[in-house]
A and B are shown apart, each in its own frame.
Chain A
Amino acid sequence: MDKENLVALYRQMVLIRVFEDRAAEMYAKAKIAGFLHLYNGQEAVAVGAVSALHPDDDVVVNYRDHGWALARGSSARAVMAELFGRATGTTGGRGGSMHLVDVRNRFWGGYAIVGGHLPLAAGLAAAAQYLKTGRVTLCSMGDGSTNIGTFHAAMNWAKLWNLPIIFMVENNQYAMGTHYDVHSAVPMIQKAAGYNMYAEQVDGMDVMAVREAVCRAAERARRGEGPSFLDVVTYRYRGHSMADPDVQRDKAEIARWKERDPITRFATEVLLKRNLVTPKDLDDIQKSVEQEVEDAIEFADKSPEPALDTLYDYIYQQPVRNMQIAGSLIRPPTIAKSVPANGKHA
């Protein structure tokens, strides 16, 4: 990777960190409601993984999705506006924090039912295989999702059909508040062995390690060698969501992981060490990111709420006759699409 791209990775990670810190602030100010799952500590995973993919590969992730949307190219403005529940958000205020999406970037969304998106990801990969598009699907999930039935059903299916998919566990070692040792019977990497699936354990606090592992898995998929399983070991600095007082984790454990902070490490061990940047350059990046996020907050705050008359839009892509009849009050959607659903398939 050249200097410009390496610095871009750094900037993305800083953007996610600053974005999440400011989102937490906005949550405290009640600008954001509901559940807010922050990505602090895990920045290297999304940034490293996305950097290894082609622009038209498919990405499907869970509800801890702000970092993924930003890494995949959604603007900080659109993501923040979505958290604020505004018309200018990634889904116009429909989905909120847990359901970001940007199909133009083939970012198919954050999914908030644990394990629920795994079969969908396998389906996207099955479509890529059937339609011979050459696309690879990256499916990210938490360690907590590797015990539910859909995990095993999707792993089995992907191996059986030799699908071009990467199952990537963002193993932050906690299923909400329950530690891995309490929620899982076997070591993570062993779960792939049950399906005879190619697997690697990856340092999730090292953006280049994540990038390289995803590159290898994607190349395998493109060569027709089927699915891969990546156990990306990482850590989240904050609680499960803003609703989590985070009393069950050992403070010393959190401090130990912060010593391996992916952003600091990448700055010192790569960028500064190889004289690609000066400390002043890093300061400038920090400032520019802070400005970008401040702008996103202002944009979100000034954005209108979604219009009430859009409430029924898109319940169906294709309205049918007689929808207003009976007590159901279903209305045909307004047909006003700037982006065709599911993008272009060719």
Chain B
Amino acid sequence: MAEITYREALKRALREEMQRDPTVVIWGEDVVAYAGGGAYGVTSGLAKEFPGRVRDTPIAEEAIIGVGIGAAMGGMRPVCEIMTVNFTLVAWDQIVNHAAKQSHMFNGQIKVPMVIRTPNGHGRTAATHSQNFDAWFAHVPGLKVVAPSTPYDAKGLLKTSIRDDDPVVFLEHLQLYGTRGEVPDEEYLIPIGVSDYKRRGKDVTLVTWGRMTMESLKAARVLAEEGVDVEIVDLRTLRPLDLSLALESVHKTNRVIVVEEGWRTAGLGAEIAASLQEMAFNDLDAPIARVAGLEVPMPYAKNLERATLPFAEDVVAAVHAMLQKQY
């Protein structure tokens, strides 16, 4: 088992699925030659390996998604890359009014087996380029939404997403591309809709996904030194939402904090907190807390950007607050 980056894990998934199925293609902005392949390097080298199957497209996100939907209807399995999640807004009509509607509205006659790969993230790129729309996608019936946190999950979930017969929004993260983790050489798949424990513990349950799983793990190490033992549930799939492990964990710890990167109001954390209290109210020893991004358009300045985003220290502070309060 080798340790590879999240970026490399994604690339291996793409390569394996392209080798397996000739109808899998990659279309997106600058996926062929720019910087070796992909603005963030995920597709580098694949165009050479698979001639004619990795194609640069115009900067027209509504067409990248729309053409992908049509190609999926016509018998292909396109993987459409949208350079960052911010640009999916240009294609929102195609994603919500078309990709998500086809199967149900046309009574099962049309399927759309496509993957929309796009990264969340930030990096001193200011308000229009530093957003997180996990909750928006997760709100839409008809979409499957996946947000892996580790190289292992990224590879297994991307392979499953490509084979899935429904449109899958595959949310990567700029800050995760360079992170490393163990990935087996042999093939494996991870099912969509199955959450995962990333740390076992007994004191407080952290329910999270994506980059915040990594921040939660960092927080857990700090807390462990203080003798606080947190359990971390990584949702991995945001729609359909699998809260079974979160629920199991709450029965044990009786305390839950939802940790998300996006804006707090009407965020996914609100949904998770509401659902958990509906199902496990009597198990809770404290109100469910949320760690979330501050509700401002992201500023450029280094200190302001950092203040806007949640990090491990915010998770630590939330755990402290929860354990210190008396109810």
Contacts and interface: CB of A to CB of B under 8 A. Distances in A.
B66 A322 contact: no
B111 A157 contact: no
Interface stretch (B3-11, B33-41, B68-76): B68-76
Nearest to A95: B105
A130 B192 contact: no
A109 B73 CA distance: 11
Contacts of B93: 113, 116
Contacts of B275: 326-327
A57 to B, nearest CB: 12
Given A317-B108, A322-B242, 18 more contacts: A91-B105, A91-B109, A95-B106, A119-B66, A119-B67, A119-B70, A123-B70, A126-B74, A150-B66, A154-B66, A314-B104, A314-B108, A316-B142, A320-B193, A322-B244, A327-B275, A328-B239, A342-B75
B240 A126 contact: no
B63 interface: yes
6 tightest A-B contacts by CB? A123-B70, A119-B66, A127-B74, A345-B75, A320-B193, A153-B63
B271 interface: yes
Interface size class of B (residues with CB under 8 A): 35 or more
B67 A103 contact: no
Nearest to A118: B66
A157 B60 contact: yes
A58 interface: yes
B129 interface: no
A131 interface: yes
B124 to A, nearest CB: 29
B94 interface: yes
B70 A127 contact: yes
Interface in A39-92: 58, 60, 91-92
B25 interface: yes
Interface string A89-133: 001101100010111000011010100111111111111101101
A34 interface: no
Contacts of B274: 327
B54 to A, nearest CB: 12
B189 to A, nearest CB: 13
Contact of B67 (A101, A123, A330, A337): A123
B79 to A, nearest CB: 13
A316 B145 CA distance: 12
Given A315-B104, A317-B165, A121 B97 contact: no
A160 interface: yes
Interface in B218-254: 237, 239-244, 247
Contact of A320 (B105, B142, B192, B271): B192
B70 A124 contact: yes
A193 interface: no
Contacts of A117: 98
Contacts of A341: 103, 108-111, 165
A108 to B, nearest CB: 6
A316 B274 CA distance: 25
Interface string A138-169: 00000000000110011011001000000000
B292 to A, nearest CB: 19
Q: Taking each of B73, B76, B192, which has the highest tally of chain A beta carbons within 10 Å of its own beta carbon?
A: B73
A127 B71 contact: yes
A101 to B, nearest CB: 5
A320 B76 CA distance: 21
